[in-house]
Amino acid sequence: MEKLSFENTAIVACGTMRPELNHLRDQGFLDTPHLFYTTPGLHQDIHELERQLIRFIKKAKDRADKVIVVYGGKYCYVNADDPTRLMQTIISEQGLEVTRVEATHCMNMLASEQEMEQIRQEMAGGELVWFMTPGWVKYRTQVFKGWDKGIANENFPRHTGGAIVLDGIGYLDQYMAEHPEEFLEYCDWMGIPMQAYPITLDRFKGLLTDQLKVLADRAG
């Protein structure tokens, strides 16, 4: 079977997915030199998200024939001023050579809803869980920009199953070993324990490959 190549495809992604995408590049799966990252945490500033996303897509189109956007559809861009303007609206406006991975948010890029439910049952006995990716740990100050302890107390403690990091790159174990005080402070700030759940990046790779095929079909 012919190996699919990303050589002529650029990736424009939310910065929270930088750890996984850089890992896939280093492993040779993403054979493209064109990786562009928006600032992590822009789901809290959708106007800046849209500005950066469009700017990087334009840059990507100057470097490659095709562009895959790594952003969720349902939760990453919620426009209260114009509810009918969706993430897919923005992508569609960029042309047929631009497409987006089919996922609702970054956690969904790494695990399906069914898989996350199975993890919740296995690790937390069915209790409510706050799922995260390594990027939510690595880029904490940007992802939770503007959050004080009060906002944290309103959001995290009701997740009685704790926080689970969907970790396909072994990030959290290394973080805990190298920065144990930061890790403990992070858990204390959230008010819930945090643990890693090792996964493969097979689902993520499949989502990227699916869009490579979509772009190839469009090109005829």
Q: Does 58 score more than 80 pLDDT?
A: yes
Q: What percent of the chain has pLDDT over 90?
A: 89
Q: Does 210 score more than 90 pLDDT?
A: yes
Q: Are residues 147 and 159 in the same domain?
A: yes
The reply to whether 1 falls in a domain is: no
The stretch 118-136 carries a mean pLDDT of 97
Q: How many folded domains does the chain comprise?
A: 2
Q: Does 1 score more than 60 pLDDT?
A: no
Q: Are residues 132 and 84 in the same domain?
A: no
Q: Are residues 167 and 152 in the same domain?
A: yes
Q: Are residues 187 and 205 in the same domain?
A: no
pLDDT-derived band at 22, boundaries 50, 70, 90: very high
Could you tell me the pTM of the whole model? Answer: 0.94
Q: Are residues 21 and 129 in the same domain?
A: no
Q: Does 74 score more than 90 pLDDT?
A: no
The C-alpha torsion from 140 through 144 and 147 to 152, rounded to 10°, is -80
Q: Are residues 97 and 116 in the same domain?
A: no
Over residues 151-205, the pLDDT tens digits come to 999 999 999 999 999 999 999 999 999 999 999 999 999 999 999 999 999 999 9
Q: Are residues 20 and 122 in the same domain?
A: no
The stretch 83-110 carries a mean pLDDT of 95
Give the range of the structural domain holding residue 45, as residue numbers without chain letter: 9-107+201-219
Q: Are residues 54 and 101 in the same domain?
A: yes
The stretch 13-40 carries a mean pLDDT of 97
Given a contact cutoff of 8 angstroms between Cβ atoms, the answer to whether 187 and 194 are in contact is yes
Q: Are residues 101 and 19 in the same domain?
A: yes
- pLDDT for residue 2: 53
Q: Are residues 194 and 207 in the same domain?
A: no
Please give the structure tokens belonging to residue 121: 């049952």
Q: Which has the higher per-residue pLDDT, 123 or 81?
A: 123
Residue closest to 48 by CA, chosen among 23, 26, 15, 25: 15
The stretch 17-29 carries a mean pLDDT of 97
Q: Which has the higher per-residue pLDDT, 43 or 163?
A: 163
Please state, in angstroms and rounded to a whole number, the distance separating the CA atoms of residues 43 and 49: 7
Report the SS3 class of residue 1.
Answer: coil
- pLDDT for residue 119: 97
The reply to whether 56 falls in a domain is: yes
The reply to whether 2 falls in a domain is: no
Q: Are residues 96 and 132 in the same domain?
A: no
Q: What percent of the chain has pLDDT over 70?
A: 99
Q: Are residues 56 and 89 in the same domain?
A: yes
The stretch 41-56 carries a mean pLDDT of 93
